[in-house]
Structure 1
Amino acid sequence: MKDLLGKAILDFQTNNSPQNIITETDISEAEEMDINYLFRNFEEMPKLERKALDLSYGKVLDVGCGAGSHSLHLIKRGLDVFPIDISQNAIEACQLRGLNNAQTIDLLDIENQKFDTILLLMNGTGIFGQLKNITQYLNKLKSLLNENGQILIDSSDLIYMFDEDEDGGKWIPTHKEYYGELTFTIHYKGETEIPFNWLYVDYNTLQNAAHANGLQSQLIYEGDHYDYLAKLYI
């Protein structure tokens, strides 16, 4: 990976002529995203994210921390936070913002640690990549939980993006195992990232997968556009 999203985050943090990024998927047109959005404060965050941060307690693992905005808010609340991301550039930006213990590491590679709260926000299911990987990730997350710990994860049901037929059914591509599996491409400063898999999961599918892997599931919040926040726990 070229780590273009991380490069945009680091450019913004260091004032290195940052530009907006362009994202596109295999089911949607290219869209421009202001990189400043990743540096928002608590008051500027969507209600779903504010709810997740309000519910966080104890020792927190912030998975896919990006520019570190969620971690910074939790540290202000006095929580012990471990921000991680696979983007070395993003982690460098986090460290420049004062998150000294931010680390470039894949969730699956964390060992010998336990947490009270594990946060996966801004479509936290995305890192699963494809539906076939959900068991692997849920079991890893479960192994990192302290007793009475919680996983706070958000996603969206993408069913709204597909056309309806005359009977109210949906025209869903048959070449995919699951309609929430997307291929993402990012463009930044004339460069194009290697396309990567990104997973959106409807709540019922997440709930069923959680139960199948020894986790309870609670729907915490539903947004106005098929998005939701869920709590998973043992």
Structure 2
Amino acid sequence: MNDPFGTAIKEYFEKGKAPDLVVNSNYTEDENIPVSYFFRNANEMPELEKKALQLCRGSILDVGAAAGCHALVLQNNQQDVTALEQSELAVEVMKTRGIRKTIVSDIYKFEGAQFDTILLLMNGAGIGGTVNGLKKLLFHLKPLLNEGGQILIDSSNIKYLFEEEDGSMWIDLSNDGYYGEMEYEVLFRNIKSAFDWLFIDFNLLQKTAMETGFKCEQMFEGEHYDYLAKLEIYK
């Protein structure tokens, strides 16, 4: 089964411990993610995520819900949340944790329902994979929004990773494409998954949102070049 995230989440949930997930990219190697991070409670969440959960309203679709940490907080606050996750193992864990509304699906295959808030956290923009892929994602999310609905999405500007001390860049931005388009590989034990992953700066997100019919407002800016944005359909 090619599901490192779901396998790790299930093992941690059942045993109380699991090896870290190992992330490699075309820019970095062997970055570790503790599986416990997917089980953080409201107090353990960064301020950006707390802000996003405060902004949620109405019926909520939590996209890429993983172990359901955000959905659980919302549900405990008596909010109407549906957790969508493509990993069957992760959804199995969410159900056992008591999350009432879950859907096993790739977001691109999900349709036929509408929500007041669509929530994409933990670098939710990354799901797009590339800038053009993010456009495709936003076009797909549009009909899933009720009138007056909102998309809450986060990402980071990772340009600082490529800057030298003198301010020059060690990659050629003119020829290498957008620096935030990355190739990821995630490994848990002997289970591996490879995919494209996007980090997008706010200005480019705003431009991409406008091109897909959304207005885009920055709602929070973190200390590490991360930010939360709210997208609403232009009337």
Task: Identify the residue that residue 225 of structure 1 maps to in structure 2.
Answer: 224
CA spacing shift, 1:78–1:16, aligned 2, 3 Å: closer
Kept in 2, the 8 Å contact 1:23–1:32? The answer is: yes
CA spacing shift, 1:220–1:176, aligned 2, 3 Å: same
Task: Identify the residue that residue 74 of structure 2 maps to in structure 1.
Answer: 74
Q: Secondary structure of the equivalent of 1:232?
A: strand
Per-residue deviation, residues 135-176 of structure 1 (Å, max 9, x unmatched): 21111112111111110000001101103375x332335664
What is the RMSD of the two structures over their aligned residues, measured on CA atoms?
A: 1.6
Q: Secondary structure of the equivalent of 1:164?
A: coil
Q: Which runs of 5+ in 1 are unaligned?
A: none
Task: Identify the residue that residue 172 of structure 1 maps to in structure 2.
Answer: 171
Per-residue deviation, residues 170-213 of structure 1 (Å, max 9, x unmatched): 23356643110111111222x14132111111100100011111
User: In structure 2, how many angstroms separate the alpha carbons of the residues matched to 1:16 and 1:155?
Assistant: 30
Q: Secondary structure of the equivalent of 2:216?
A: strand
User: In structure 1, how many angstroms separate the alpha carbons of the residues matched to 2:115 and 2:156?
Assistant: 25
**What letter matches 1:105 in structure 2?**
S
Task: Identify the residue that residue 22 of structure 2 maps to in structure 1.
Answer: 22
5 Å-filtered alignment, 1:133-172, equals: 133-164=133-164, 166=166, 168-172=167-171
Kept in 1, the 8 Å contact 2:3–2:191? The answer is: no
Per-residue deviation, residues 41-77 of structure 1 (Å, max 9, x unmatched): 0010000000000110100000000110000000111
User: In structure 2, how many angstroms separate the alpha carbons of the residues matched to 1:134 and 1:186?
Assistant: 21
Which shows bigger deviation, 116-125 or 171-180? 171-180
Which shows bigger deviation, 201-210 or 126-135? 126-135
Q: Secondary structure of the equivalent of 2:29?
A: strand
* TM-score, normalised by the number of residues in structure 2: 0.93
Q: Alignment length, in residue pairs?
A: 232
Which shows bigger deviation, 121-130 or 169-178? 169-178
Kept in 1, the 8 Å contact 2:118–2:152? The answer is: yes
Q: Kindly state the Cα deviation for residue 100 of structure 1 after the two structures are TM-superposed.
A: 3.4
Q: Kindly state the Cα deviation for residue 18 of structure 1 after the two structures are TM-superposed.
A: 2.1
User: In structure 2, how many angstroms separate the alpha carbons of the residues matched to 1:53 and 1:196?
Assistant: 27
Moved over 6 A (4+): none
Matched-pair identity in %? 42
Q: Kindly state the Cα deviation for residue 131 of structure 1 after the two structures are TM-superposed.
A: 1.5
User: In structure 2, how many angstroms separate the alpha carbons of the residues matched to 1:18 and 1:226?
Assistant: 30
Q: Kindly state the Cα deviation for residue 16 of structure 1 after the two structures are TM-superposed.
A: 7.2
Kept in 1, the 8 Å contact 2:127–2:198? The answer is: yes
5 Å-filtered alignment, 1:70-109, equals: 70-109=70-109
User: In structure 2, how many angstroms separate the alpha carbons of the residues matched to 1:221 and 1:34?
Assistant: 25
In the alignment, does 2:205 pair up with 1:206?
Answer: yes
CA spacing shift, 1:152–1:28, aligned 2, 3 Å: same
